[in-house]
Amino acid sequence: MARTALTATAEAPVPNGTLVCPYFHEAIELLGKRWSGAIVHELLAGPRRFSALSHSIPQISDRLLSIRLKELEACGIVTREVYEDSPVRVDYALTPKGRALEPSLKAIGAWARTWLHD
Amino acid sequence: MARTALTATAEAPVPNGTLVCPYFHEAIELLGKRWSGAIVHELLAGPRRFSALSHSIPQISDRLLSIRLKELEACGIVTREVYEDSPVRVDYALTPKGRALEPSLKAIGAWARTWLHD
């Protein structure tokens, strides 16, 4: 990997190493937050209702799922679509920023299958 | 992304969704653990002494860096190489399992530069 790819150019280099890019750091901690990656992965397949997400990730409590969806919405990865049916239907979907995470999640999935599967 | 890529095949499907593969989940939470991704990223450039890692990631305390290195060592991503110099020199390096994370970190870095940079 090119060293410039993940390192901050605005910061002064330090001996025998470079400062980690804050955007890279922010991205990886965002995805690694408990269940956030799993939620984004699930939404890559298409919009989901809250109950469907809850079924797909049975280990997550409804309270935490709600918190994570609000966080992902706040950072522009997930959007909440309300349909005026009766009863009102709410779908969660990925924004373009969220869908752009597909190659990252795919690469992590490939690594996991190769190195964690045994 | 193929739905089979990140989903568990041994589990029964649930309505309007599938169970998230536990290996994918384990991988993304491992990488997203505070500073773990940054440490692996730094080691992709080559072996580093503890002090160099500490300089490259100035926000991490020595205590937490030590804990994270032990965790990454325990799961086979990092190896600790001791050289019998005087004083003894200790380098931290990636194992093949650790180096195989490069495409994942590269993809996350690319996403971060595009979507978090403004």
**B116 phi and psi angles, rounded to 5 deg:** -110, -5
pLDDT at A7: 46
pLDDT at A19: 65
Q: What is the CATH number of the domain that holds A102?
A: 1.10.10.10
Q: Is residue B64 part of a domain?
A: yes
Q: Is residue A45 part of a domain?
A: yes
Tell which residue, A69, A104, A55, A27, has the closest CA to residue B24.
Answer: A104
Q: Band the pLDDT of B86: cuts 50, 70, 90.
A: confident
pLDDT at A79: 97
Q: Is residue B115 part of a domain?
A: no
Q: Where would I find the beta strands (DSSP E) of A8-96? A: 48-49, 78-83, 89-94
Chain A neighbors of B36, CB-CB under 8 A? 32
Q: Is residue B26 part of a domain?
A: yes
CA distance A115 to A109: 10
Model pTM? 0.80
CA distance A3 to B53: 15
Task: Tell me if B69 sits within 8 A of B92, measured CB to CB.
Answer: yes
CA distance A24 to A81: 29
Chain B neighbors of A117, CB-CB under 8 A? 23
Is residue A23 within 8 angstroms of chain B, CB to CB?
yes
CA distance B67 to A70: 31
As for how many domains chain B has, the answer is 1
- Residue A43 structural domain: 22-108
Task: Tell me if A104 sits within 8 A of B112, measured CB to CB.
Answer: no
Q: Is residue A43 part of a domain?
A: yes
Q: Is residue A31 part of a domain?
A: yes
Q: Is residue A7 part of a domain?
A: no
Q: Do A19 and B58 touch (CB under 8 A)?
A: yes
Q: Is residue A69 part of a domain?
A: yes
Of the candidates A30, A52, A113, the beta carbon closest to that of B17 is on A52
pLDDT in tens, B32-72: 888 999 999 999 999 999 999 999 988 899 999 999 999 99
ipTM confidence score: 0.81
Query: Which of A44-48, A102-106, B83-87, B100-104 is predicted with the least confidence, judged by mean pLDDT?
Result: B83-87
**Nearest CA-CA distance, residue A59 and chain B, Å:** 10
Q: Band the pLDDT of B96: cuts 50, 70, 90.
A: very high
